[in-house]
Every structure is written in C-alpha cells, then in structure tokens.
A and B are shown apart, each in its own frame.
Chain A
C-alpha cells in the first residue's frame, strides 16, 4: 500500500512539473510572438508617449525573465495577475467560466457514453448483421462530421426552423439552479428543507434546453470513438475462454454479455473517457463559439485576439491543471484496478 501512496505522490509531483512547463512554454511563445499588447489597447493613432505610458503601467518594460519570475511567484500565491485589456483580476474571471466548461464537458461525455456503449455492444454481439452495419456507418459519420458544421446545422434545424431549443447562450448555470434546492435558511430560520421547487424546476428546464444542442454537438465525435472502442473490446472479450466457460455453465446470454464481457471491456473505455474529458475542458472552443457558450474556450479565444497575455496564461494554466488532475485521477484508478502499472 505504501507503494501506492508513493505512486500517487509521484504522479502529483509530475503534474505540478507539467503545469510549470506550460507556463514556461507560454512565456517562450510570448517572447517569439510579434505584436505588442499595447497595439491592442491603445488606439491606432495614439502618440508614442501614450504608448510608452501604457507599456509602463502594464509592466511591459521589464525584461521578460523578470516578468516570468514575478508571474510564477504570484501564481504560487494564487494570484494570476490583471488583464491587460480590462484591468480586472484574472483569477475570478477564469474561475467564473469554469462551471460552464465543466458542465458542457460532462454533459457531452454523458451523451457519448449513453449512446456509444449500447451501440458498441449491439454491433459486437450481432457482428455482420444489419444493426452492426448501421452502428458502424453511424460512428463513421460521427467521426468524420466537423463539429462546427454539425453545430450550425442543429441550430438551423432545431432552433431556427422548429423552435424546439434555444439557439445559443447559457442564461442560467447548473449551480444556480441547484442553489434553489440547497437549504438557504440558517439555524435561526429553523433549517426548513427543500425550498423553492418551482424556480428550481424552471431553471433546470432552462438549463437543459440550452445545453442539449451543444452537448450533442460536442459528444458526437466522442460517441463515435467510444462505439468503435467498445465494439472491438467486446469482440476481443467474447472470444475469451471465460466467456465460453460462462456460456457452458448455462448462464443466460444477456448476463454473459453485460455482466462479464462488458465489464472487462470497460477498463480501457474508462481510461479513454477520462482522458477525453480532460481534452474537452480545453478543446470545446469551436462548440463554445458556435453556441455562444460562456466557457473557457470563448474566453481564451477573446484573450488571444486581444493579446491579453495574463488572461491567456490564466486560462491555459487552469486548462492544463484540469488535464493534469483528470490524468492523475485516471492513473490512480487504473493503478487500483491493475496494480502492475505501478512498477
């Protein structure tokens, strides 16, 4: 067990190293990227004197290595600096976007898992039959459909044409909706229990209506991927000796398929789902843009367009940290399931 603890600690340390690496690479990029942030803040006709004053007020006159060390030191203290464009603190802005991004990533994953695992199982158990071909074609389509196209098509069809779902934005967050269910009275009020059920339902409905299309858009590629993975894993497992033994024992086929073969198939699937979730945290940029979903992706694109380096750094550090955390969790789970990897 001690070795397990050491394994986890090692992974966490590596993760910190990765984030440090991300920051270093960012500063190198910043060094080689042409165009000063001042050009984006000052109007085009600003005088050299105005430019100089702005540069000074942002600390851009310091050598880059000084800016680098200042940044690392304040980051360790939890300070991500101030946006060049708006002068506001970066950390609250980035963390304000995190719930939207996480919601979308998790919703997309749920859509993907709910669709792909049954599809994969069906197509493996009925290999070379019509359902298998349908599932294969579906997953091929899913893999080859570009996100932005699918998103726009879904909006045109379901929002503009049929008016079933809203086109875009996220007027209410999941946490806000859930907030109605949390006890809002203190001990003085007598801890009255679940309170505003009606606003909760209204907000939930609103939230669900807004997240459906982006989640389907983002989840489709992913659905296709997991379907393929489940299918091949299932085929592999169904050919194993223990499956034959189970069948010989006279277990019903459903039990053999779902209880035994599927369980073993899921080990690599879980790893991929976990890693993919990490990618979704930073990789939903296009979907966020199409649906005007106020997540980290939209923020980082805006920040890049404005050369707002503190904001870019803040976003990427958080995305990097998200990726590292998911990886550490997946690795840890894996080590639990299969202790051989610890060596």
Chain B
C-alpha cells in the first residue's frame, strides 16, 4: 500500500516535468480501491458493496483488472507535435488536429500541416485512421464534437436527449449550409447515420459501422428539425460515439455522385472547403465564407505528408511548414532549441500494454502476471526511452476517461516482490518471449526491449524479445482464436470515446474482438455497466 502511494507521487512528478495539464476527470467520486488490496490473492473486490452507478461499475472493473493484472500496464502515449511560433495552437487529446483552432500570428494567413501519411480517400464514412480523419474533419462535421480536453460538445446538434431506452433525439442547428450551397436538413443527417450502420444505404460498406456499435438506424423527426436515432438495448455511450464518428453528408450530393468522385471531393458543413486535391501529394483548403460560426482564423490551409520524422522536423525548422505530427523523442530537443519552433505535447487516448494470455502457461497464474508488473521500472522506461513524454498506467482505462478509477495506482518497481510472486506461482524458471511490432507505436521495440531487460534480471525468469511484422502479428491476434496468438505481446490501443467500455469490452472481456483475457467477474461488471444509462 505505501509502495503504491509512493509511486503515485513519483509518477505525478514525472508527468508534470514532461508537461503541465494532465487534468483528472470531472471530480466524480471514485470507487474505493486500496483499503483491502494488500493481499492480492483474494478477489477482494467482491467483498465490497455493489456499485450503484454505471461509472461505479466501470471503476470496479478497473480495480479488479489492476489486481488480476491481465496486462503488464505500460505507458499512456503522448501526442507530440512540433509547431512554428508563427501560429497559436494547443494539441488535442484525441490525436486529431482541428485547423479551425489554429490562429496564425502577425501578417500570416495561411497554415501548412505536415502529417506522416495522407488520406485513403476523402469519403468521410469510408476509412478509419487518424491521418484520414485529420484531412476529412476540416471540411466535414458531425452532430456532436469534443473540445480539446475530450468533453462532448454540440456541433450540428444544438441539444440531445434520451427519449426512452434505445431511442435518442438530436435537435439540429438551423442556418447550416453545405459547401455546395444546399442547406442542412434532417434527412441529410438521418441518411448519414444510416449510410454507416446499414450496408444497403448510400452505396457503402462502412468500416465505421463498428464504431457506431449498437446503433440500428435513424429517421427524421416529425415536424421538428430533429433526428431520432434508434439503438438496440440502452447503449449508454451513444452520445460519446456520435462525438467522435459520423460526419454529416449531403444526401443528394452522395446519391448523384460515384465513389471515385466522393473520394476526391468534399462537400461538408465545416469551416474549410476543399480547394485542390492532389492525391498522395497534398490537399489544400480555403476558409468557408458562409460558415455558421466565425470564419476560421486561417484563410487557407494545406495538409501534406512526410513519412520520415527527420524530414518533418527539418521542414519545420526551415519554416516550410507550421505544424508537424509525431516528433520522436530524439528530435524533441532540436525543435525546442530553435527560436522559431516549439513542442506541443498532450497525453493521447492511446495506451501501450503487454497482453499476457490468461490460459497459457505461465500467464495463467495471476501471481505470475502481477510479478511481471512488479518486475519493470516503468518510471525509468518512460524517462529514458520516451524522454518523459508518457504517463504510467495501472489499469486499462486512462485518466480523464469515464470509469477511470482514481484510487488505483501503477504497480511499483519491486524486484523482490516480483521474485517472491514468481516462486509462489510455481513457475520459477519460466522462459517467456515478448512479441512486439517494430515502428507501429512510438518506440515500441525499445519499450519491449526495456521490459524484457527488467524481466530477464529476475533470478527466476528469463525473457526474450521477438520482433514481428505488424500485419503478421495482427493477423494472429484477430483470427478469433486465442490459441494461435503469441502468449505475450506488446500492442497499443487508442480509444477516442473517452469511455472505459470501449477499452475493456474489446480487449478484456471473454468475447472481445481483440481479447487476451476472460474473467467472469469482469464480464459481469461490464454487463451491468452497459445495461445502465450513463451521463453522456
């Protein structure tokens, strides 16, 4: 107990050294955690009274998962941007760049952003990765949105409410027009939602349908300028889903154009309209004069890409671009030392972890899994491998998310405890192999090597790193068969809904798409949580 408390302090210190502003949740009371946690062999969580709220259930699930240690909890990744001093801008938590928030300084009126990759087509419903999101979201908007900190805000909706279980209603903003000049109608909104969730609408099999999981369809409300969305079951996070996904498109525009056209043109309601699209080269926008709010501070915007981090950094240093993504730790000082550029970093929604498959030796022993968490010096990994640009984690849910348990701390570094737990687990002398992709996540291989280095230092366990091609590894993890997966692997998970369920359900419940774990208590807690309406 004391050890954990000590580590919180140390961890906080590391976090604040890296950057200020790691705000904690919204002050809701958290589910009690540490009072009985000294003896981790007993599933102590069951002895506490059942939670009463959805958030309480989620917090309880996080507590149980911390104790059961299905993962080695590693770091919360930061989004590290380099920006020119010619613009005022602050990084968002959800890895997206909203150019509407970029303010050019002085006489400057155009802004250039350099990403690592360009789009995979401009159809806002036909992709699901951040580089394309960033390109599309400048021109398209959804019903709801999020502010920089991740809080849900109104966008094309002026209000939303749950009408009954399985039905929610969005009130639409008036006076909104598409770039083509057409006014936004409730039919457009309903069509856009249906285009994602129903494969026979809009000529598209949308890869975002899983992102609107549970939503079955939408229809325009009678009379009023509103849309009614139906879902199966109560779907507690339906509003959170609409804050991250489902851009609204113009129905007649979609229906009168072919796929190739929709993928190379944009007709949204957003603050920027497409000026010129040169596939694989660059995309330029200009400010949309008839935007329903103040016009964007920048008159024009260009998005380009450079896959090499050093190329992006050089572009920034020589003033050819204003904002670059993913500055690697080794280049951070270069950007900081220049007078014309600075680093803007923010904790992202991505967690990096090592999964230990629960039914494979030696990971079928909770003691062994806990031992692995005690064995690593996470604080040192973060300061040495990631130059301090990361936070420690001790539960699957990140700080600031609905369901994060504030009383659960990261595991401390304790070699003796780790060795003791290994003995207790009966797996002394175990040899384990950590599978890791190389280059998929920031410093993934280096993190894996550090983890394995610490584990290998234990007297009774030896460990090795196995480098894997990401596609190859992903294929094994996603085939729906746990026995073909490596028993121990490093992977990252981004969750833009800011809700614990979208991490725990896919990764840590028995039927999750990418699960490595099965525990009746966790399944039960998550079922309870998902059957209750949440706050948002």
Contacts and interface: CB of A to CB of B under 8 A. Distances in A.
A152 B317 CA distance: 13
A159 B315 CA distance: 9
A167 B469 contact: no
Nearest to B440: A305
Interface in A25-84: 34-36, 39-48, 50-51, 53-54, 57
Given A46-B210, A50-B209, A290-B308, A35 B472 contact: yes
A167 B315 contact: yes
Interface stretch (A223-231, A269-277, A295-303): A295-303
Interface stretch (A4-12, A88-96, A129-137, A239-247): A88-96
B131 to A, nearest CB: 11
Interface in B269-305: 279-281, 304-305
B199 A53 contact: yes
Contact of B281 (A155, A290, A294): A294
B124 interface: no
B117 interface: yes
Contacts of B471: 34-36, 39-40, 307
A222 to B, nearest CB: 22
Contact of B311 (A47, A89, A97, A168): A168
B231 interface: no
B385 interface: no
B484 to A, nearest CB: 11
Which of B207, B281, B306, B471: most chain A CB closer than 10 A? Answer: B471
A152 B472 contact: no
A82 to B, nearest CB: 9
B126 interface: yes
B267 interface: no
A93 B279 contact: yes
Contacts of B320: 166-169
Nearest to A163: B318
Given A34-B471, A39-B475, A168-B311, A48 B480 contact: yes
Interface residues of B, number: 44
B280 A96 contact: yes
A175 to B, nearest CB: 14
Interface string A161-181: 001001111000000000000
Contacts of B119: 86
A34 B468 CA distance: 11
B311 A289 contact: yes
Contact of A88 (B128, B279, B472, B475): B279
B120 A46 contact: no
Interface in A280-310: 289-292, 294, 298-299, 301-302, 307
B1 interface: no
B526 to A, nearest CB: 15
A302 B307 CA distance: 9
A296 to B, nearest CB: 11
Contact of B317 (A89, A160, A292): A160
B412 interface: no
A85 interface: yes
B1 to A, nearest CB: 35
Given A167-B320, A302-B307, A43 B207 contact: yes
B510 interface: no
Contact of A53 (B205, B279, B318, B506): B205
Interface string B317-329: 1101000000000
Contacts of B279: 86, 88, 93, 96
B441 interface: no
B201 interface: no
Contacts of A169: 304, 306, 315, 320
Interface in B96-133: 117, 119-121, 126, 128
A12 B264 CA distance: 38
B475 A299 contact: no
Interface centre among B209, B260, B474 (most CB of A within 10 A): B474
B263 interface: yes
Given A34-B471, A168-B306, A289-B311, A44 B478 contact: yes
A43 B493 CA distance: 11
Given A168-B306, A168-B314, A43 B128 contact: yes
B16 interface: no
A156 interface: yes
Contacts of A250: none
B260 A290 contact: no
A294 B281 CA distance: 7
A314 to B, nearest CB: 13
Contacts of A168: 306, 311, 314-315, 320
B513 interface: yes
A167 B311 contact: yes
Contact of A45 (B199, B205, B308, B506): B506
B344 interface: no
A87 interface: yes
A163 B121 CA distance: 35
Given A43-B210, A53-B199, A289-B308, A167 B474 contact: no
Given A43-B207, A85-B120, A159 B314 contact: yes
A45 B306 CA distance: 28
A212 B403 CA distance: 55
A44 B306 contact: no
Given A34-B475, A47-B513, A86-B119, A160 B311 contact: no
B155 interface: no
Nearest to A158: B318
Contacts of B304: 169
A87 B318 CA distance: 35
A313 B126 CA distance: 23
Nearest to B278: A96
B307 A36 contact: no
B121 A87 contact: yes
Contact of A57 (B117, B205, B209, B211): B205
A34 B469 contact: yes
A46 B207 contact: yes
27 contacts: A34-B471, A35-B469, A39-B474, A39-B478, A43-B211, A44-B493, A45-B210, A45-B506, A47-B210, A54-B205, A57-B205, A86-B119, A86-B263, A88-B264, A155-B314, A159-B314, A160-B318, A167-B311, A169-B320, A289-B307, A290-B308, A290-B311, A292-B305, A292-B307, A292-B315, A294-B280, A302-B117
Given A40-B474, A289-B308, A292-B315, 5 more contacts: A43-B207, A167-B318, A169-B315, A294-B281, A302-B280
Interface of B: 117, 119-121, 126, 128, 199, 205, 207, 209-211, 259-260, 263-264, 279-281, 304-308, 310-311, 314-315, 317-318, 320, 469-472, 474-475, 478, 480, 493, 506, 512-514
